[in-house]
Amino acid sequence: MASYVPFGWQGLSAALAFVSSISSLAVDTFFGKGKKKKLPAGPPGYPLIGNLSSLGANPHLQLTEWRREHGDIYRIRMGLQDAVVINGYDAIREALLKKADSLSDRPYMYVLHELSCGGKGIGFAGYSDEYKNRRKAMVSILRRFGMGKGIMEEKIHEEVLELKKNFARQAASGEAFDPSHLLGCSVLNVICSMILGARFEQDDPLFHRLVALMDRTVAAMGPSQILNVFPWLRFLPGMGQTGSDVFRCAEEIREFLSGVIREQRSQLNNNDDVSFVQSLEAALKEDDQVTMIMQDLFIGGAETTTTSLRWALLYLALHPEVQENMQTELDREVGRERRPSLTDKPRLPYTEAAILEVQRVRTIAPLSIPHAASQDVELRGYNIPAGTQVLVNLWSVHMDPAHWPDPDRFDPTRFLNEQGKVVRPEQFLPFSIGRRQCPGEQLARTELFLFLTTLLQHFTFELPEGAPPSTEGVMGISLSPTPYKICVRPRE
């Protein structure tokens, strides 16, 4: 699951700056002083809009920049609300591990609240006992259904082979193409196999519908984020549409999933094999929670892994020397005949290091998912009042020159020790840490490894002639590359 941070904001800033200058006095008088004393200081902002207009399209960059001036913990204003930003490994570790009891909640955010039907499911649920039980049940059932086991590897392989065929077709055409759609279909089918118990043929109309729905959800999520800060904007002409697009897509996804649940329920008596859905139903006994958890797994599991693969292909094409090192290692340890497997991983340290480096250099959830304080809590001498939104700046950890010299440089050897073995420094946290740590980590890491090793075994990726694509990324539901085209060349 990815960032969902409410900064999808741009054009409204001028109008709001005007309104804000009029209301500045009132805001300071009524909302400011008493509360601010308890919080850390931060960059000055405008009344009413706070710091929003300074954050720009890629807020993680500005938030990381402010760390230099304001330290590891500072406060910003998102509209009328305070948010505490936590930067750097030590402070994040302290917040998410030592103060986990108080800082594992989620804030109220209009779009996410509606999307999760009032905080149901896992990703946007408050840190309650019910949430803990749901998460525990889901993780244990995911394990039972193959997460981290050979069954999962088999399912992923099926999709990798399909993807390989599709890439071979593209290679034969000789045309550069945007790999997003093909990658997205394969990753979505992995989730379908694991959770629905069946994969789809790519020409199945039902699968087309699901893919289109997922694409529409991702596209609608970005622009809707401003409604998390100013929910009342939905009443303005045109703005309401932004939110309702997301809610309509989510509802259609839930309808699709409810259909699967009904179908699987009807098969219960005829079939001894219990499905993922049936196990979840038995553990939770609440229909709507089952659908919501499945929605979380679909939305959280598909887009994140696809985006990581898109970054990986882009960085490999930009760094042919890294690609060549990976292929040499693969040729030596696996060869070209048999498919790579998870058991090869210990003998492919450079390859693993390159994948880790992609996840570091372009952290797809740079601000994680917003946390919140469930009670007043003291952190490093500051008081964070209950209900305050807490932004965990993972980007600041992965771009910290104290841990990663010249952090913008793409260099897989950062993850190798002198003996050439993989080391994973504790300052590497693309899946976050603590009670909310991504429950899909194992699945995502296995997918990244099997997809990339199999593809590199058979193909070399190159960029078409012309200016190389930007690596800055665009922030939507996650930090994704600007759409780019790539050429696939079959290996000799």
Query: Residue positions in the annotated binding site?
Result: 438
Burial (Cβ within 10 Å: 0-12, 13-18, ≥19) of residue 215: middle
Distance between start and end Cα atoms, the chain: 38
Q: How many CB atoms sit inside 10 A of residue 62's CB?
A: 16
Q: Any alpha helices (H) in 192-319, and if so which ranges?
A: 205-224, 226-229, 239-266, 276-284, 287-318
Q: Which stretch binds ligand HEM (CB under 6 A): 292-300, 310-318, 346-354, 401-409?
A: 292-300
Instruction: Examine residue 1 and tell whether it contacts ligand HEM (CB under 6 A).
Output: yes
R_g of the chain computed on alpha carbons:
23
Quick one: CA dihedral 186, 191, 192, 193, positive or negative? positive
- 69, two tokens: 């001036």
Instruction: Examine residue 297 and tell whether it contacts ligand HEM (CB under 6 A).
Output: yes
The residue from 51, 186, 305, 323 that contacts ligand HEM (CB under 6 A) is 305
Site for ligand HEM in 167-226 (CB under 6 A): none
Instruction: Examine residue 439 and tell whether it contacts ligand HEM (CB under 6 A).
Output: yes
Nearest to 49 by CA among 102, 90, 12: 12
Phi first, then psi: what are they for 105, rounded to 5°? -85, 170
Phi first, then psi: what are they for 302, rounded to 5°? -90, -50
Q: Can you give the three-state secondary structure of 197-213, one letter per residue?
A: CCCCCCCCHHHHHHHHH
CB of 182 to ligand HEM, least distance (A): 18
Instruction: Examine residue 66 and tell whether it contacts ligand HEM (CB under 6 A).
Output: no
Greatest CA span in the chain, whole angstroms? Answer: 72
Instruction: Examine residue 473 and tell whether it contacts ligand HEM (CB under 6 A).
Output: no
The residue from 6, 243, 440, 481 that contacts ligand HEM (CB under 6 A) is 440
Q: Which stretch binds ligand HEM (CB under 6 A): 70-78, 240-248, 295-303, 311-319?
A: 295-303
> DSSP strand E in 305-375: where?
371-372
Q: Nearest-CB residue to ligand HEM? A: 440
Residues 6+ apart with CB under 8 A from 435: 96, 100, 104, 127
Q: Which is nearer to ligand HEM, 348 or 372 (CB)?
A: 372
The binding site for heme comprises 438
Site for ligand HEM in 93-132 (CB under 6 A): 122-123
**∠ CA(269), CA(273), CA(277), 5° rounding?**
85
Instruction: Examine residue 301 and tell whether it contacts ligand HEM (CB under 6 A).
Output: yes
Q: Which is nearer to ligand HEM, 96 or 239 (CB)?
A: 96
What is d(CA 78, CA 31) in angstroms, rounded to the nearest whole number?
Answer: 13
Instruction: Examine residue 368 and tell whether it contacts ligand HEM (CB under 6 A).
Output: yes
Instruction: Examine residue 388 and tell whether it contacts ligand HEM (CB under 6 A).
Output: no
| Residue 419-438 contact track with ligand HEM, rule CB under 6 A, x = bound | -----------xxx---xxx
DSSP 483: P
The residue from 111, 220, 354, 365 that contacts ligand HEM (CB under 6 A) is 365
CB of 173 to ligand HEM, least distance (A): 29
CB 137 within 8 A of CB 279: no
Q: Which is nearer to ligand HEM, 1 or 356 (CB)?
A: 1
What is d(CA 153, CA 142) in angstroms, rounded to the nearest whole number?
Answer: 14
CB of 276 to ligand HEM, least distance (A): 11
CB of 451 to ligand HEM, least distance (A): 11
What is d(CA 412, CA 352) in angstroms, rounded to the nearest whole number?
Answer: 9
CB of 126 to ligand HEM, least distance (A): 10
The β-bridge relationship of strands 377-379 and 382-384 is: antiparallel
CB of 55 to ligand HEM, least distance (A): 19
Instruction: Examine residue 350 and tell whether it contacts ligand HEM (CB under 6 A).
Output: no
Instruction: Examine residue 300 and tell whether it contacts ligand HEM (CB under 6 A).
Output: yes
Helix (H) or strand (E) segment spanning residue 394? helix 394-398
**∠ CA(102), CA(47), CA(243), 5° rounding?**
70
Instruction: Examine residue 356 and tell whether it contacts ligand HEM (CB under 6 A).
Output: no
Q: Which is nearer to ligand HEM, 239 or 391 (CB)?
A: 391
Q: Which is nearer to ligand HEM, 123 or 243 (CB)?
A: 123
Instruction: Examine residue 135 and tell whether it contacts ligand HEM (CB under 6 A).
Output: yes
CB of 86 to ligand HEM, least distance (A): 11
- 427, two tokens: 């300052």
CB of 301 to ligand HEM, least distance (A): 3
What is d(CA 18, CA 427) in angstroms, rounded to the nearest whole number?
Answer: 42
CB of 376 to ligand HEM, least distance (A): 21
Instruction: Examine residue 87 and tell whether it contacts ligand HEM (CB under 6 A).
Output: no
Q: Which residues bind ligand HEM (CB under 6 A)?
A: 1, 122-123, 135, 296-297, 300-301, 304-305, 308, 364-365, 368-369, 430-432, 436-440, 443-444
